[in-house]
């Protein structure tokens, strides 16, 4: 029965559930590649929520896999603000609000739609005091600061390896350094 249901064309849209899954899988892989490759968030602990991948995957699918520099910045901003503002704490509501913004958006504006889904309060600019508060080791502030350090190529003092390389190796004892003049 499942085989027929999964392989027969849907009366609602063209294609089968298997076709839909292939598209969803491709979009999730793009989202994971972005989070892993562009953000440097190569550990599950860096994600504000695994459910953050759902709206990101939908946005990337809507953009047909095209990623401009501005889109990349918008996606980073959305992920960091979502983490800091705990946007995905109530997952179902948060994911639905993101998907609602994406539903009627043009493909080339998918990254902007994700930022709009944060609303005015959660989408506001960061203030220094938001990062000054005591936070858990893998909390939102750590996620944001780490993403920033990866984006500027921060390196370990001792080994000279980038933070991203060290995280992929699993070395959590290293000290981070970077050239402040690059900022």
pLDDT tens, 79-130?
988 888 877 766 666 777 788 888 877 767 888 888 888 887 787 887 877 7
Packed helices 110-117 and 91-103: angle between N→C axes, nearest 10 degrees: 140
Per-residue pLDDT, 179: 39
| Interatomic CA distance for residues 41 and 85, integer angstroms | 18
Query: What share of the chain has pLDDT > 70, as a percent?
Result: 78
Domain ranges of the chain: 14-124+138-144, 152-183
- With a pLDDT cut of 90, the percent of the chain lying above it is 13
The strand pairing partners of 176, in sequence order, are 156
pLDDT of residue 128: 78
Query: Which residue is associated with the tokens 């080994």?
Result: 159
What pLDDT, on the 0 to 100 scale, is given for residue 120? 79
Average of per-residue pLDDT values in the chain: 77
Q: What is the pLDDT of residues 126-159, one digit of tens each?
A: 787 777 766 667 677 777 888 888 888 899 888 8
What is the number of H-type helices and E-type strands within the chain?
10, 2
**Is a pLDDT exceeding 90 seen at residue 30?**
yes
Tell me the pLDDT band of 175, cut-offs 50, 70 and 90: very low
Neighbouring C-alpha atoms within 13 Å toward the C-beta of 95: 14
CA dihedral 67, 90, 145, 152 (to 10 degrees): 0
| Cα–Cα distance for residue pair 8/102, rounded to 1 Å | 28
Q: What is the DSSP string of 86-150?
A: TTTSSHHHHHHHHHHHHHTS-GGGHHHHHHHHTHHHHTSPP-HHHHHS---TTSHHHHHHHHHHH
Residue with tokens 């980038």: 162
Higher per-residue pLDDT: 9 or 158 = 158
Q: State the first-to-last Cα distance of the chain, in angstroms, to the nearest integer.
A: 59
The pLDDT value recorded for residue 4 is 60
16: tokens are 């089968």
How many residues does this entry show for the chain? 183
Contact (Cβ atoms closer than 8 angstroms) between residue 41 and residue 147: yes
């Amino acid at each position: 029965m499942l085989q027929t249901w999964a392989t027969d064309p849907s009366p609602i849209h063209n294609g089968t559930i298997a076709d839909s899954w292939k598209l969803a899988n491709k979009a999730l892989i793009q989202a994971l590649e972005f989070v892993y490759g562009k953000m440097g968030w190569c550990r599950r602990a860096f994600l504000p929520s695994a459910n953050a991948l759902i709206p990101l995957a939908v946005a990337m699918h809507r953009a047909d896999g095209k990623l401009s520099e501005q889109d990349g910045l918008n996606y980073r901003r959305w992920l960091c603000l979502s983490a800091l503002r705990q946007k995905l704490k109530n997952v179902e509501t948060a994911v639905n609000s993101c998907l609602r913004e994406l539903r009627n958006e043009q493909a080339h504006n998918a990254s902007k739609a994700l930022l709009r889904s944060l609303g005015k309060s959660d989408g506001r600019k960061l203030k220094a005091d938001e990062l000054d508060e005591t936070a858990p080791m893998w909390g939102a502030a750590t996620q944001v600061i780490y993403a920033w350090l990866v984006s500027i190529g921060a390196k370990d003092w001792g080994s000279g390896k980038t933070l991203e390389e060290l995280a992929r190796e699993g070395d959590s004892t290293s000290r981070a350094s970077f050239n402040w003049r690059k900022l």
